Amino acid sequence: MKIKGIDYQGLKTDNNVFLAPIAGYTDYAFRNLLIKLGIGLTFTELVSAKGIVYKNKGNSGLLYSGNDYDKTAVQIFGSEPYYMRKACESEELLPFSVVDINMGCPVPKIYKNGEGSALLKDVLLAESIVKECVKSGKIITVKIRTGLKQGDDIASEYAKMAEQSGASLITIHGRVREAYYSGEPDFNAIEKAKKSVSIPVIANGGIFTTKDATDMIDKTGADGIMLARGAIANPFLICELLGKEKPCTLKEFMLNHVKLRRKIMSDKRASIEFRKFIPYYFKGIEGVKELKMKLLNAEDTETILELLDKNF
């Protein structure tokens, strides 16, 4: 794929390879490491707009971005225009130039509350949310899916709505809500959406290799791609796409990941939450079954660091 910067409302990214907001994974530690690998733009895990307005203490960890605010957008979710705008105008979001509106999360808890991908049922409500957020003065972007159920194709409708409402960029996950994260992306739906607007369109879904990335761009005409599980399974995919040498080994990457996590959270939480990355990091590597089991049972970060240093 062709690497280029993305221009949107006066800002320009270094390149067109973005990191998706993934609940439970794309916290500051992971984002920071991928920024060092060269990613063009990252997004926080999705954060409740109401939670921001009412100053939910749990949001501080989700929003923390160290010195990476220039490479980090905040993603918020909600279904009430008033609270979405208030969140954009809040002190908590002051360091962020870019606010992304989540209209694609398929998780039942969020969907049943009328948020995330549930907004794809009501384009007028979605329009009102975008317009109110734009009034905050922030650069507003939107992330959607191609629809709710198989056969839906509303990406172009929502892309046009987003542009006309003042959004500066739109990301399209090429699957419907009921598909969650499986199946081939709907390239045609993304292509139609891309042709219907003049703002940048970023394509997301099913990108695990450089070929996947090239196919996504070739088949959709999108301006860039957004990596999700593919970046967790292989953080160095970013380097491959950018044509850069890997600055470290996988072992060094994991060691740095653990060390950075324990700087921003309790040691116990850092060790427990690191476990979910282990199946991704070790996928396809032979002879590590025993090491994986020991890592999954480790109770502190020192044990994890020692296991990785001596056994991998």
Do 68 and 125 belong together in one domain?
yes
Please, which residues bridge with residue 73 across strands?
43
Do 154 and 299 belong together in one domain?
no
The per-residue pLDDT for 118 is 98
Do 139 and 224 belong together in one domain?
yes
The per-residue pLDDT for 304 is 98
Do 61 and 156 belong together in one domain?
yes
- In the chain, what percentage of residues exceed pLDDT 70? 100
Domain contains 291: yes
Domain that holds residue 266: 250-311
Domain count, the chain: 2
Domain contains 140: yes
Work out the burial of residue 102: count CB atoms within 10 Å of its CB; fewer than 13 is exposed, 13-18 middle, 19 or more buried.
buried
Picking from 242, 259, 292, the residue at the C-terminal end of a domain is 242
- In the chain, what percentage of residues exceed pLDDT 90? 97
The per-residue pLDDT for 31 is 98
Q: Give me the catalytic one of 105, 133, 239, 248.
A: 105
pLDDT at residue 9 above 90?
A: no
Report CA dihedral (211, 189, 129, 164) to the nearest 10 degrees.
110
**4-13, 133-142, 208-217: least confident range:** 4-13
Closest CA to 292 of 270, 273, 308: 308
pLDDT at residue 58 above 90?
A: no
Domain contains 1: no
Read off the pLDDT of residues 59-98 as tens digits, 9 standing for 90 and up: 999 999 999 999 999 999 999 999 999 999 999 999 999 9
Residues 45-54, mean pLDDT to the nearest whole number? 97
Say how far apart CA 233 and CA 92 lie, in whole Å: 31
Do 224 and 275 belong together in one domain?
no
Per the structure block, which two tokens stand in for 276?
A: 């979910």
Say how far apart CA 63 and CA 80 lie, in whole Å: 21
Read off the pLDDT of residues 258-288 as tens digits, 9 standing for 90 and up: 999 999 999 999 999 999 999 999 999 999 9
The pLDDT mean for the chain works out to 97
Q: Is 105 a catalytic residue?
A: yes
Residues 231-250, mean pLDDT to the nearest whole number? 97
Question: Tell me, what CATH number does 255's domain have?
Answer: 1.10.1200
Do 262 and 236 belong together in one domain?
no
Say how far apart CA 65 and CA 50 lie, in whole Å: 20
Q: How would residue 305 be classed by pLDDT, with cut points 50, 70 and 90?
A: very high
151 DSSP 8-state letter: T
66 DSSP 8-state letter: T
The per-residue pLDDT for 29 is 96
Backbone angles phi, psi at 154, to 5 degrees: -115, 10
The DSSP line for 83-116 is HHHHHHTSSTTTT-SEEEEEE----HHHHTTT-G
Radius of gyration, alpha carbons of the chain: 19
Say how far apart CA 63 and CA 280 lie, in whole Å: 24
Residues 46-67, mean pLDDT to the nearest whole number? 94
